[in-house]
């Protein structure tokens, strides 16, 4: 029974992945990489949910992960369309160049 012994191991992995994704979002300048780091953070949270769902033997957690994945697919499609539209306007996807709303 793996989850019994390694509950904290699974939680540590998912926290580590979340922190790595967060640092990536804050440090990288390429919009695609930033977006990929957001996906990484989503996956970390999914792993957390599945771990507890398995531990308490309650399938509600894995149902939630299923719906999160569906919304993530929709979000990825729209996000990449926005990145393509940005690239079409400025020939660049460096997020520091998109400061129209900054004052």
- Which distant-in-sequence residues (6+ apart) come within 8 Å of 77 by Cβ? none
d(CA 77, CA 75): 5
Residue from the set 45, 47, 99, 100 that interacts with another protein by CB under 8 A: 47
Residue from the set 57, 100, 102, 103 that interacts with another protein by CB under 8 A: 57
Count of positions on this chain that bind another protein (CB under 8 A): 70
13 binds another protein (CB under 8 A): yes
The three-class DSSP label of residue 103 is coil
Side-chain-side CA neighbours of residue 42 (13 Å) = 18
Number of other residues whose CB lies within 10 A of the CB of residue 2: 9
Residue 58 gets the label, from left (phi > 0), alpha (psi -120 to 50) or beta, of: beta
- Beta carbon of residue 102, minimum distance to another protein (angstroms, whole number): 15
97 binds another protein (CB under 8 A): no
User: For binding to another protein (CB under 8 A), which residues are involved?
Assistant: 1-4, 6-11, 13, 15-24, 26-30, 32-33, 35-37, 39-40, 43, 46-47, 50-51, 53-57, 59, 62-63, 65-67, 69-78, 80-85, 87-88, 93-94, 96
């Amino acid at each position: 029974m793996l989850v019994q012994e390694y509950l904290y191991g699974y939680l540590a992995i998912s926290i580590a992945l979340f922190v790595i994704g967060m640092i990536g979002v804050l440090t990288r300048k390429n919009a695609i990489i930033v977006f990929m780091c957001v996906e990484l953070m989503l996956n970390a949270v999914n792993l957390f949910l599945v771990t507890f769902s398995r531990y308490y033997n309650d399938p509600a957690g894995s149902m939630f992960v299923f719906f999160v994945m569906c919304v993530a697919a929709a979000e990825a499609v729209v996000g990449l369309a926005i990145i393509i539209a940005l690239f079409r306007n400025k020939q660049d996807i460096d997020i520091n160049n998109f400061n129209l709303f900054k004052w």
